[in-house]
Amino acid sequence: MPFYQYFNGDIIPIDQPAFATNDLGLLRGYGLFDYFRTYNGVPFRWDDYWQRFENSARLLKLQVPISQNETEKVLADLHALSGEQEVAFRFVLTGGYAPDSVNVVQPNFLIKTEALPQDNPAGRLKGIKVLPYQYVRDLPEIKTTNYVHMVLMADEMKRQRAADLLFYKDGEVSELTRSNIFIFRDGKLITSNRNILNGITRKVVLELAEAHFEVEVRPVFYQEVITADEVFTTSTTKWVMPVVQIGDELISDGLAGKRTLFLQELFEKLVSGWGK
């Protein structure tokens, strides 16, 4: 069955155009999004994702046009129409149509149902390479639609067989383009707390790790990362993904770390039983 989307109160086919060309998201880049998926047919950490979405909207001074309960019903309808056991949902909230191309009048709200992203079992087992990139996202607490640096670097990442960019500036690491960064160093699990989007998978991993490791949430420096015992990244699509190379630098022996794989296993057990 085809996927459907919700746009400002209506459910329409996924291939039907939604936004008009005078939307502030297109004209000014004024918009935000969020992205999550189901496990066993149940949205994962729905309350956490909704709270983050609402927080992003509040910081961009956009009013979410429907409530969490109303949105939950929309998700159920879209999921049922898909005919799929598992789906991903993408929220997009923009500044809407502005006669003067500046001032927000009424935001536009889109919810897309999507096929699950392609899995990367090889990456989870062997780890990935990322490229260091000197940049800190503007308004990092907001999941904006601005991914211009990732798109600009897409050809270079492909050329160097890298999966992502690692953002850092003035010697301090923040995050990857679409995921958070963790390191193991001197027996401690450490993750950055500045200039980041607060990832839901990051939050889950911190919860899982608490019983097994000493955890530090603090500024993380580039030199610490490239000399760490283990490095990994977390997101909805990456889960717990080992990072084994940053630019030309191998992390430790260049293999996925045992503690990283242990946390990966804990996360996989959690999601496999989600909603049961």
Question: Do 125 and 158 have their domain in common?
Answer: yes
Question: Do 147 and 267 have their domain in common?
Answer: yes
Final residue before a domain boundary, out of 114, 136, 169 = 114
Question: Do 32 and 153 have their domain in common?
Answer: no
Question: Do 126 and 90 have their domain in common?
Answer: no
Per-residue pLDDT at 140: 95
The length of the chain is 276
Per-residue pLDDT at 276: 80
Low-confidence ranges of the chain (pLDDT < 70): 1, 119
Per-residue pLDDT at 1: 61
CATH of the domain at 153: 3.20.10.10
Place of tokens 């850092």: 168
Q: How many CB atoms lie within 10 A of CB 184?
A: 21
Per-residue pLDDT at 121: 79
Q: Can you give the residue range of the structural domain that contains 21?
A: 4-114
Express each pLDDT in 69-86 by its tens digit.
Answer: 999 999 999 999 999 999
* Class of residue 67 by CB neighbours under 10 A (exposed 0-12, middle 13-18, buried 19+): exposed
For residues 163, 120, 146 and 180, what is the CA-based torsion angle, rounded to 10 degrees? -80
Question: Do 90 and 150 have their domain in common?
Answer: no
Question: Do 130 and 226 have their domain in common?
Answer: yes
Final residue before a domain boundary, out of 99, 114, 129 = 114
Question: Do 97 and 147 have their domain in common?
Answer: no
CATH of the domain at 108: 3.30.470.10
Tokens of 178: 């679409």
Specify the pairing of strand 88-94 against strand 108-114.
antiparallel
Question: Do 9 and 99 have their domain in common?
Answer: yes
Q: Find out whether 135 and 173 touch, Cβ atoms under 8 Å.
A: no
Final residue before a domain boundary, out of 114, 149, 178 = 114
Tokens of 129: 């390479």
Per-residue pLDDT at 120: 80
Domain count for the chain:
2
Question: Do 143 and 223 have their domain in common?
Answer: yes
Question: Do 62 and 159 have their domain in common?
Answer: no
Question: Do 55 and 140 have their domain in common?
Answer: no
Per-residue pLDDT at 273: 97
Question: Do 82 and 197 have their domain in common?
Answer: no
First to last CA, the chain: 25
Closest by CA to 271, choosing from 72, 40, 34, 115, is 40
